Structure 1
Amino acid sequence: MADKQENNDQVEITISEEKKPKDEHTHKIFNFLGHSNRSSTSLEGDDDDELVKLEIIPEIVEDHRTLLLINKEDQNLYHEIKEWHEEDRNRSLEDTILKFDPDKYRNSDALAKVVYNYPLPDFIIRYKDDKKDEHRNEKQITRDNFEILLLQAGLILEREVDPDGIYTYVKIIAPFNTLCEMAQRIRLKVRLNKESLPSDLSILDEYVRSSDTILTKIIEHFVYDIELKKDSSIFKREHLRSYEGAESKKSKADIALNFFNTSRRNLMVHRVIITANLINKKETSPDGKTVYVNRKIESLEIKKLIKKGIYDELYPIHDGPSKYKDDSKENNNPRATLEEKWVKRGFKRQPIDKIRAYFGEKLALYFAWLGFYTSWLSIASIAGVIVVIHGLIYMSRSNFENNNDKIAAIWDNALTAPYALFMAIWATLFLETWKRVNASIQYDWDVIDYEKDELPRPEFYGTTLRVSLITLKKEIVFPFREKLVKIFISVAIVLVSIGIVLVTVGALLLFPENLQVVKNVKYVGPVITAIINLATIIILNLIYKNVARFLTDFENHKTETQFEDSLILKAYLFDFINFYSALIYLMFSGGRSCENNCNDDACRERCIQQGRGLTLLTIQLAIIFIGKQLIGQIQEILIPWLMSKWNKAKSALDRESLEKKYADSGRKNKEIPQWIEDDHLAGSSDSIRTEYEEMVIQFGFLALFGVAFPLSPLFAWINNATEIRSDGLKYIKTLQRPVGYQAQDLGMWEKIMNIVSFIAVLTNAVIIAFHSRWMENQFKKYTGDDENRLLVARLVFVLAFEHLVFIIKLMFAYMIPDVPNKVRIAIERERYLSRLVLEGESPVLDEYWSDKKDDSSLFSEKGSLLLPHRFTKKFKSQ
């Protein structure tokens, strides 16, 4: 046994057909794996270095349903609940949970859900039982082993086979106690209820009513209403009745079923699933001490099991259908409520709080930012329209040498330079005010310290041990030197990949004539080059995304936020070259490349005319910008709508067949379960990153080149107003429900937009100085036709414009605080109330300022100090 333990750190787990486990083994395996009731640092049990088998107890619920348990106590409890229910079928689920109190009977609420065939389990794992697969038995053993890990982690599992007997759905139900333990582990914040707030709030109420000072009005308007309702603290099970949703008037059944909404539940259950292969193992340290350490069973990591085909899918389920049944407005279907109050309401305000409650903070933050960004686009759209209107008037009243200059005057006129300055300030104000809005969201959603409290990724590994300066315990770390080497390798590969893309794009822009296969035929070279370039970009894009994910995994980031930020940065660098390189080249070259490839004067003159002014850059930007948005809308709206119409008849037949199968299957529940409905939906794992990517690329077009096409903000506003609803419809109807991840801010996306806004100052200055014919005419009033003096004037303008805008941007960044004063006050107030409620701190006393400087009343005639009775009575009582 000792040799086996040294060579193989995996616990031996098997499944038995027997319904009764060996009870003496149960305690041993719990000690070894780390039962959910135990601390991961517990040192109980001297014999848990022994490797033992843990047996599953299968309970047949129906012919197609099997409950999986791992201890006798849960088996007996399940039978008791089942008998209680069968005695009186009118007893509700809430009645049963009240009878079997979760505080007294662990897992009783989850087992009651099995008895009542609860339609909304927390998570689903699906696999296909292919009887022709030669590795079928090996796969089933692996599945059994992983499911034992889920059971020992505190979850309840039930296997249900579909009517065709092809797919098995493992329904995962989390008991309330397991959720509370995970909430405390991830340091979840939950708001305190009014009952738990200290009595000194009445003093604040009297103060607000009796004073008319400006400060008091600020407190009344911004703080008082917020603090009484939205105080929060890190979740602690022992303070359960102090939180919103667990008030004294609420029963334990109501709390067990509804305290955590489904978004919170799937977040915590997902964490249990992805960390189920982490076990507590007894080891002997180099100094001879016995310690418990966290070990990872690599072969039983859920992502690897899906990749190997052991399981097919892992997903949470929606809370019912996307539409109300029979036009009834039931309150227990937040999914249908979102469709009614969000997607169908057109351009009305988004119900962000409902989106957050259903999808979690990460997705809700995206929609909050998208709505904010779209509202700011309306301001930029008005400015752009004013420039175009002025250009039309200017074009109609002026004489031009050629038609190119006449058309260019629409966006190249006296307002072009002020518009560029406006857009630079607009980008700064947009980003700075978003920081303030984001600070309010962080406070309101209780995610201010999310990244500080974020737990490590299950994939993260360390290579050395050190003593933590915080806990003074040994912790696994990944040394900075090793990480630096990985980052260096990753950066080198990314640069090579981007270089390949840059060379491919350059082939289209610089060498079109080299690809002409048919002489004296116009446009053959450019067309062939464009086709080759497009195909290459598509292929490289697919390859690069996989390479980027591989490299990000290779870098071994500790938290999911760090992982996401690194992956986002790699993806955006590729997108930057892919989408902006052609426009950047045109910005710096104009028509010179075309001119150099001409063999006669007429061709050169034509190229010069095409390259002068903003015409060429405007055409390219308009085609790329509008075309990209049209393609995106076609992909997200038109194609799915056409496909739904095309497949409507087939889908109706398939659904009718599926409904008949369930009706004829002899099951108690004859309706199609929600997890079957969701199984037909597309996955949503990377969708949120794609949405951000699309919008940040759009922001880049506006900030970097928007001066060349002033109508671009208007088209962006129209696109985004539609995008909000189309994205909402997509997440509600066509995608599986995403895990309710938390998020503190936009992360790397916000950093990228800040960097782009600074680069945009230079690009806009260059566009105006070197491409604006109106600005060139102004320069020539002072320089004449001298090209050298004209170049100097242009460079001086670039420097002056760039310095002016940078100064203005820095001034606004400094003058606009990132955190609003009302939020800062509210945060400090919240911390104070949390200390009063959870730590028993004494309330702060009123402070008064007095003109009296005479302290003689506090001393006796003999000079002894006299103190108020309140300070002395506790000593007298002793």
Structure 2
Amino acid sequence: MESAESFSPLVVLELVSDTQEGAITWLLQRIRDKQRDGGAELLVEQLGPGVEDQEKQNPNLFLIGASLQRLLSGAEDLGLFKQFNDGSMRSFTCANKHNFKDFQGDGDGFLSMAECQYIIKHELDTLRAKDETHIPGYTQAKLYPGKSIIRRLLSKGIMVQMFPLHEKEELKRLSFSWFKKVKLSHQPLDDIRHYFGEGQALYFGFLEYFTFALIPMALIGVPYYLFDWEDYDKYVVFAVFNLIWCTVILELWKRCSATLAYHWGTLSRKKAFEEPRPGFHGVLGFNPVTGREEPLYPNAKRQLRIYCVSVPFVLLCLYLSLYVMMIYFQMEGWALSVHDEDPTFWTGILLFIPSIIYAVVIEIMNLIYRYAAEFLTEWENHRLESSYQNHLVLKVLVFNFFNCFASLFYIAFAMQDMALLRQSLATLLITSQILNQFMEAFLPYWLQRRRNKKMIRKVKKTTLEDRALPLEEQVRLEADMSTYLGTFDDYLELFLLFGYVSLFSCVYPLAAVLVVLNNITEVYSDAFKMCRVFKRPFSDPAANIGVWQLAFEAMSVIAVVTNCALIGMSPQVKSYFPESEMQLILWTVAIEHSLLALKFILAFLIPDVPKPIQIELAKLEFESLEALKKKVNSYFVFTFQFFHIS
């Protein structure tokens, strides 16, 4: 048996405390077996007892690591891109490992800890059953050749969790440069990527980019707000600027994201073949692509669930949201009538109460709907994780968009009350930001502190990085931390803020200022949570922000239509068409179509990838083709010589 000191523990695997001994022995053996025998060829040891309440501790925590050679071969299998001696980014191979820039000596330190943990996770996820019919000791946990063992353990509740360990010194350095000191500078994106992976770094990169992109809007909005407070009609210039702004920033972000992804080695990395989701179920059959046994589920049955259950449910939720909105307008009308009868300071305050209540109700409805959407999407039984995410994002975005913006559209285009629109937008924006900051920053930290209070007192420790902790206590402390659920909610919040700014900020110019302030606090609160509250997430080698790019672009298209409609409603524009309202509508629609055409032309003319990076990618593709030609020619020459000699 390997000693716990003979390797650096990278990943922790926790089974339930009453796991059958036979299942533990079998799992550990499969993890240690050689790859040629169907194992993961990793190093694993059981964690020793901690200092507190040993009889109450879960004994089934296991530390997993790997030899350097195993990690390097795993990096080659995954096609990780690293910097070559000529400065280009190339797929790593063990055969030419010494030609990579940072590979020195035996390669120790060549791979970051996040990359090593990602490799181990991949090897564990692809650990498959051979001829086992079930997990030892659990006859109900069926197995078949090719079934992922880790996925089956998770779905049957035998495995509690699997998470990567923090590296205390590196975390301490990152925390200091990231959120422990207030500074007017860029975030350490390379360090974030090195520690948490590309997916997290791209989120924080987009958050930073979005914040800087809002500064021109904020600088124009402040004087516009101060000197045009009561004149709600003079918003044409600001609306035109809005149209240009929301188009240009998204196109420039694509270039910025491509540059980051290229330097991090994920831009040209080929996407791995997707395996079935852990929760996917069906009748056992053969996959025609892989030839392996796996569950099969009829697509027609899935489509029936989507269109006969999920879509009606979403429509019902939209109807309920509309019903709540009408109640809000009734409350608004009541408050306005009270104020008109006896205008005092307190009745002036009363005017804001309906909007505040409505903003709180919106957040509650969004939260409840989110859980319902997750349940429905899981019930639809999507085979691939990407398909599951796309359907979940679509459900959540449709409802959140309608729930957050329907009242504003009604006020703007049905009531045409710009004063009420400004008041409602300001109240919704401020209230939602206060609630989000409470839910995302204060509440998780407070709950986590309460959960770990006893252990923290025992080890006289307030954070992981303040001073050295015994390994056993560090692992148990991290195991009890909250699990990071990904960037979904973070991107959703940015999407809604982008909507508030791009759709209606011409009526309330301070919207951009409020969003800038929110984003600044968001950077620090999110950074704090990543480093101090949540378990370390596994690296996600992303090349872009994925489906959220499409979501933001769809919002920008809606913003063009909305701002054109607001411009057409302004008294300045109406004055040019005093006798023909139909002519005004036709001109507005024509300009809106022209701007949309201009938007798509700009998207076409501005390349998503900067020219220098396009050249580097073309060079790599050319070299790969030349290398392939040489291999083919060598094969034919060898074959010809062989038959000629024969």
Structure 1-normalised TM-score?
A: 0.60
What's the CA shift for 1:828? Answer: 1.4
* 1:556–1:237 Cα change, 3 Å: farther
The one of 691, 709, 714 equivalent to 2:513 is: 714
2:111 is matched with 260
Q: Secondary structure at the match of 1:258?
A: coil
Write the letter of the residue equivalent to 1:189: L
2:129 is matched with 279
1:175 is matched with 66
Deviations 1:778-810, CA, capped at 9 Å, x for gaps: 524651xxxxx4643542353143123213212
Whole-Å separation in 2 of the counterparts to 1:295 and 1:778: 66
2:502 is matched with 703
Q: Determine if the alignment matches structure 1 residue 762 to structure 2 residue 566.
A: no
Q: Secondary structure at the match of 2:146?
A: strand
What's the CA shift for 1:658? Answer: 2.9
Q: Secondary structure at the match of 1:447?
A: coil
Whole-Å separation in 2 of the counterparts to 1:451 and 1:490: 33
The one of 220, 239, 257 equivalent to 1:438 is: 257
The one of 315, 318, 342 equivalent to 1:498 is: 318
Q: Secondary structure at the match of 1:171?
A: strand
Deviations 1:681-723, CA, capped at 9 Å, x for gaps: 322124x211111111100111121211112112212221332
Assess if the C-alpha contact under 8 Å between 2:50 and 2:473 holds in 1: no
| Superposition pairs of residues 848-859 of structure 1, within 5 angstroms | none
Write the letter of the residue equivalent to 2:600: L
The one of 674, 685, 691 equivalent to 2:474 is: 674
Whole-Å separation in 1 of the counterparts to 2:236 and 2:213: 20
* 1:538–1:467 Cα change, 3 Å: closer
Deviations 1:21-60, CA, capped at 9 Å, x for gaps: xxxxxxxxxxxxxxxxxxxxxxxxxxxxxxxxxxxxxxxx
The one of 390, 408, 421 equivalent to 2:230 is: 408
Deviations 1:272-302, CA, capped at 9 Å, x for gaps: 44444x313499xxxxxxxx95235699432
1:626 is matched with 430
Q: Secondary structure at the match of 1:357?
A: helix
Assess if the C-alpha contact under 8 Å between 1:683 and 1:736 holds in 2: yes
Of the structure 1 ranges 793-802 and 259-268, higher mean CA displacement relative to structure 2 is found in 793-802
The one of 202, 222, 237 equivalent to 1:365 is: 202
* 1:193–1:647 Cα change, 3 Å: same
* 1:822–1:386 Cα change, 3 Å: farther
Q: Secondary structure at the match of 2:271?
A: helix
| Superposition pairs of residues 541-690 of structure 1, within 5 angstroms | 541-590=366-415, 611=417, 614-637=418-441, 651=453, 655-658=456-459, 673-686=473-486, 688-690=487-489
1:45 is matched with none
Q: Secondary structure at the match of 2:607?
A: coil
What's the CA shift for 1:529? Answer: 8.1
* 1:366–1:704 Cα change, 3 Å: same
Whole-Å separation in 1 of the counterparts to 2:196 and 2:270: 19
Q: Secondary structure at the match of 2:599?
A: helix
The one of 188, 191, 197 equivalent to 2:82 is: 191
Assess if the C-alpha contact under 8 Å between 1:421 and 1:805 holds in 2: no
What's the CA shift for 1:673? Answer: 3.8
2:213 is matched with 376
The one of 707, 712, 723 equivalent to 2:522 is: 723
The one of 278, 303, 315 equivalent to 2:163 is: 315
The one of 184, 189, 192 equivalent to 1:347 is: 184
Write the letter of the residue equivalent to 1:700: G
* 1:299–1:368 Cα change, 3 Å: closer
What's the CA shift for 1:544? Answer: 2.4
Whole-Å separation in 2 of the counterparts to 1:634 and 1:707: 28
| Superposition pairs of residues 113-512 of structure 1, within 5 angstroms | 114-115=4-5, 121-126=9-14, 129=17, 136=18, 146-152=27-33, 153-154=39-40, 155=42, 156-163=44-51, 164-165=53-54, 166-168=56-58, 170-176=61-67, 177-180=69-72, 182-185=74-77, 187-191=78-82, 193-194=84-85, 228-233=86-91, 235-247=92-104, 250-251=105-106, 255=107, 257-276=108-127, 278-281=128-131, 293-295=145-147, 300-305=152-157, 310-320=158-168, 333-343=169-179, 344=181, 346-388=183-225, 392=227, 407-409=229-231, 412-413=233-234, 416-450=235-269, 452-459=271-278, 460=280, 480-488=299-307, 489-509=309-329
What's the CA shift for 1:678? Answer: 2.2
Deviations 1:371-405, CA, capped at 9 Å, x for gaps: 1111211122223235335xx1xx6xxxxxxxxxx
Higher relative CO (Cα under 8 Å, sequence separation at least 6) belongs to 2
Whole-Å separation in 1 of the counterparts to 2:397 and 2:482: 25
Assess if the C-alpha contact under 8 Å between 2:90 and 2:265 holds in 1: yes
Structure 2 stretches lacking a partner, 5+ long: 34-38, 134-143, 462-467, 634-640
Assess if the C-alpha contact under 8 Å between 2:198 and 2:539 holds in 1: yes
Deviations 1:787-839, CA, capped at 9 Å, x for gaps: xx464354235314312321321221122112221111110112344567798
Whole-Å separation in 1 of the counterparts to 2:516 and 2:355: 29
1:694 is matched with 493
Write the letter of the residue equivalent to 1:336: K
2:464 is matched with none
What's the CA shift for 1:430? Answer: 0.9
Q: Secondary structure at the match of 1:452?
A: coil
Whole-Å separation in 2 of the counterparts to 1:532 and 1:628: 11
Deviations 1:471-496, CA, capped at 9 Å, x for gaps: 89999876654443343243333333
* 1:361–1:777 Cα change, 3 Å: closer
Q: Secondary structure at the match of 2:243?
A: helix
Q: Secondary structure at the match of 1:346?
A: coil
What's the CA shift for 1:438? Answer: 2.1
**Highest CA radius of gyration, 1 or 2?**
1
1:795 is matched with 585
Whole-Å separation in 2 of the counterparts to 1:747 and 1:451: 15
Deviations 1:211-270, CA, capped at 9 Å, x for gaps: xxxxxxxxxxxxxxxxx123312x4445544445444xx03xxx3x53332111222222
1:817 is matched with 607
Whole-Å separation in 1 of the counterparts to 2:410 and 2:392: 27
What's the CA shift for 1:636? Answer: 4.2
What's the CA shift for 1:412? Answer: 3.2
Count of matched residue positions in the alignment of Structure 1 and Structure 2: 597
Q: Secondary structure at the match of 1:811?
A: helix
Deviations 1:826-865, CA, capped at 9 Å, x for gaps: 101123445677986699xxxxxxxxxxxxxxxxxxxxxx
Structure 1 stretches lacking a partner, 5+ long: 1-74, 76-110, 130-135, 195-227, 284-291, 321-332, 396-406, 592-610, 661-667, 784-788, 844-873
| Superposition RMSD in Å | 4.1
Q: Secondary structure at the match of 1:744?
A: coil
